[in-house]
Chains A and B, each alone.
Chain A
Amino acid sequence: MIALISFKPLWVFRGQAVIAAAIGGLIAGLKLPLLLLLPMFVLGIRNNKDLFLLLFSVYALAIGYELEVSNLYELDLVKVLSVLIPTLLLLDAGLKSESEEETRGFTHAHELLIASGVTIAFVIGWFVSVVFVAAVFGALIYELSGDKARRGVFAALISSSLLLAALVLGQGLLNLEGGGATQAIFIAAVSTIIALMFLWRKRDRTEFKLYIRSGFIL
């Protein structure tokens, strides 16, 4: 009961995302990006989304700098997913708003059980990578399911299926020795076309205002 009151779901989620990113990074042998996790966690707690986004950009570029996959069709899927999914989980945790209910503490016992189970699975996953990937993927799906965004899920599924289909269809052309650059360009091209299909609709978008304490600097 005490745990129910003292743990705040969003904080736990942010903590989990950071732990997942740290374990995933260690599995993939990353060093530099892990240094950014603590400041990102602090910014997530302080709900400073703009600064978090900047730091996340540096984090993502650092991952791309340290972890190398030269051929898409010969990649270590578990290793790549153990970096990609925690990165998305981290981004989602950092951007999510903290509602009143979420600052109060867990209201249902099953939420706490799931949160504890996922954290334990992360730790076990350090030794068994597949368990880690499954746990992180489960955690991401659980978090996104709270949005009840059916259209979003549908769009995401179509987008990923199209990308996957394109990569499978283009395997004959792309699976070449030293074809990393071509594969990257191919992924970029297909992703851009898919994005244009879904992002053409006009939306009001929130302003990016980088600020430090009370003074705006951007």
Chain B
Amino acid sequence: MKREDILLTLVLLLFVQGYLFRNVLPALLASAILIYLIYLRAGFSPRIVSEREISRKLKDGERVKTKLRVKNLSNNRLKIEVLENLPAGFKAERPSLFLDAHEEKEVEYFITPVRGIFRLKEPMIRAKDLRGLYYEDFMRDSESAIEIEVYPNLDRIREETEAGKALRFKEAYQSLFGLQTPELDSLREFQPGDERRHIDWKATTRLGELIVRDFLKEREGDVYIVLDAGKEMRKGIKNSKIDFATTLTLQLAYALRNYRAGLIVYDDYGVKRVEAARTRGIEQVEKMAAQLKIGSIPANLMGIKSPMPVGIKIKEESRKFIKKILPAIKGRRSYATGLIEAISSLPSTAFLIFISDITANTSELIKILLELRKRYKILLLTPNPILFYDEARLDREKLIWLYERYKEREEVIKKLNGIVRTLDLGPSDLLETIRSRGVLE
């Protein structure tokens, strides 16, 4: 039902009342209201033009100021409402203003975009009469739509990572030091990240708050850090994943100094090993640090990446053949061979912390992890290449390419998490968390 209908119904009722009560006054009142409606309807003839100014490059989730110039071309004073017709996920304010006859005003409001490339239509301008009975919508043709690019907001990604990090590390910490015995150590209050199955329901009922059981920690098991120093880990000039991985390895080695910790580093050419020490302490950490002197990428490896001379085209079959035999010529082995060699001499039971790239040799890694998880407890830490990408080198094509890789990677992470616990890490991950948790002290 419309507002006008209420008045028209009233007019009808007044006419009926006038007839039934043999009274002219209700009929006169009804006529007066009807003439008033005629005055409003005939007088409402809005004409509006508008133009929007918005930046073409926006950041995901970041409020962006939009300027809208609205001009009233009619003789009426109008109430204007701006109704944005935005792509799904966008958020916008709904500003309103009053415009006198032939007045032009500029209104500023905020839009919150989501990432992607979109064609942004001009907003719909709703012109209302001052009595709020009638309105007319104005929208520019679809040709006026502009293309905007919404880039991922790195600050936001960092913030989100930061928010989830504490909890994730708690999980990782439990995996690391989760070699628990069934022997009860103590009871304590529930903390975020605690496993629900450890809740002591009797104590919870008694004390009126969630209480969890702490078990005595098994400190005698071997812990091995298995570090992938292969080609994929060395990609990137400014922030290579291997730099981060070595720092992380050292941090872990330090954090595990009271355990029997060992290190295995493997790449395309061989395996370096530091056996789990029978004695614990800082000496073992230093021994591991010595093994982490990872050199630059061998020159012969770079040859593959060098651009092909112009005019020379190689057939697809030939390319595949060269790709197959070249590593053998240069003395490289397959990823699987390196990894199998790396883990071949592990003791029968150990806790393994893998630090590896997951994008290049996913199927081999999955096969090996499926085998290994039968015997070992495994934690997989994987540097996320997107977070290691040099911001200065970002452009539209790279961004789209990175986004596609990011989506693929999400799938791989999901798959890997079904096999072993997998943590996706960025350049600033873990270091601060370890410190804040007091693990290094």
B37 to chain A: which residues have CB within 8 Å?
A: 195, 199
A57-B13, A152-B43 known; A195 vs B38 contact (CB < 8 Å): yes
Give the segment of A68-76, A107-115, A131-139 that binds chain B.
Answer: A68-76
Contact residues, B347-375 vs A (CB, 8 A): none
Q: Could you tell me if B6 and A151 are in contact, using CB atoms closer than 8 angstroms?
A: no
Assembled-state Cα–Cα distance A60/B10 (Å): 8
B22 to chain A: which residues have CB within 8 Å?
A: 70, 178, 180-181, 184
Across the interface, name the chain B residue whose C-beta is closest to A149: B43
**A194 in complex: contacting residue of B24, B30, B38, CB < 8 Å:** B38
Q: Could you tell me if A206 and B135 are in contact, using CB atoms closer than 8 angstroms?
A: yes
B31 to chain A: which residues have CB within 8 Å?
A: 163, 187, 191
**B35 in complex: contacting residue of A71, A72, A160, CB < 8 Å:** A160
Contact residues, A58-83 vs B (CB, 8 A): 60-61, 63-65, 67-72, 75, 80, 83
Assembled-state Cα–Cα distance A71/B128 (Å): 40
Shortest A162–chain B CB gap in Å is 10
Shortest A77–chain B CB gap in Å is 11
A54 to chain B: which residues have CB within 8 Å?
A: 6
Answer whether residue B15 sits at the interface, using C-beta atoms and an 8 A cutoff: yes
A150-B75, A187-B18, A206-B2 known; A155 vs B39 contact (CB < 8 Å): yes
Q: Could you tell me if B27 and A187 are in contact, using CB atoms closer than 8 angstroms?
A: yes
A64-B17, A95-B132 known; A208 vs B2 contact (CB < 8 Å): yes
B4 to chain A: which residues have CB within 8 Å?
A: 205-206
Interface size classification for chain A: 35 or more
Q: Could you tell me if B98 and A80 are in contact, using CB atoms closer than 8 angstroms?
A: no
Answer whether residue B259 sits at the interface, using C-beta atoms and an 8 A cutoff: no
A208 to chain B: which residues have CB within 8 Å?
A: 1-3, 5-6
Q: Could you tell me if A205 and B38 are in contact, using CB atoms closer than 8 angstroms?
A: no
Shortest B23–chain A CB gap in Å is 5
A-B contacts, CB under 8 A, total: 221
Answer whether residue B42 sits at the interface, using C-beta atoms and an 8 A cutoff: yes
Assembled-state Cα–Cα distance A83/B39 (Å): 20
B210 to chain A: which residues have CB within 8 Å?
A: none
Q: Could you tell me if B19 and A188 are in contact, using CB atoms closer than 8 angstroms?
A: yes
Answer whether residue B231 sits at the interface, using C-beta atoms and an 8 A cutoff: no
Answer whether residue A146 sits at the interface, using C-beta atoms and an 8 A cutoff: yes
Assembled-state Cα–Cα distance A151/B47 (Å): 14
> Digit string of A152-188 for contact with B (CB within 8 Å is 1, else 0)?
1111100110010000000000000010110111011
Shortest B81–chain A CB gap in Å is 11
Assembled-state Cα–Cα distance A125/B164 (Å): 74
Answer whether residue B292 sits at the interface, using C-beta atoms and an 8 A cutoff: no
Shortest A198–chain B CB gap in Å is 4
Q: Could you tell me if A61 and B13 are in contact, using CB atoms closer than 8 angstroms?
A: yes
A68 to chain B: which residues have CB within 8 Å?
A: 21, 23, 25
Assembled-state Cα–Cα distance A141/B15 (Å): 26
Shortest A170–chain B CB gap in Å is 13
Answer whether residue B83 sits at the interface, using C-beta atoms and an 8 A cutoff: no
Assembled-state Cα–Cα distance A159/B26 (Å): 18
**B77 in complex: contacting residue of A146, A191, A194, CB < 8 Å:** A146
Answer whether residue B44 sits at the interface, using C-beta atoms and an 8 A cutoff: yes
Answer whether residue A213 sits at the interface, using C-beta atoms and an 8 A cutoff: no
**A99 in complex: contacting residue of B15, B79, B132, CB < 8 Å:** B79
Assembled-state Cα–Cα distance A153/B42 (Å): 8
A-B contact pairs, 18 of them (CB 8 A): A56-B10, A57-B9, A61-B17, A84-B28, A91-B36, A95-B131, A144-B39, A149-B43, A152-B39, A152-B43, A159-B38, A160-B35, A180-B24, A185-B19, A191-B27, A191-B30, A191-B35, A207-B1
Which B residues contact A (CB, under 8 angstroms)?
1-7, 9-11, 13-15, 17-45, 75-77, 79, 97-98, 101, 128, 130-137
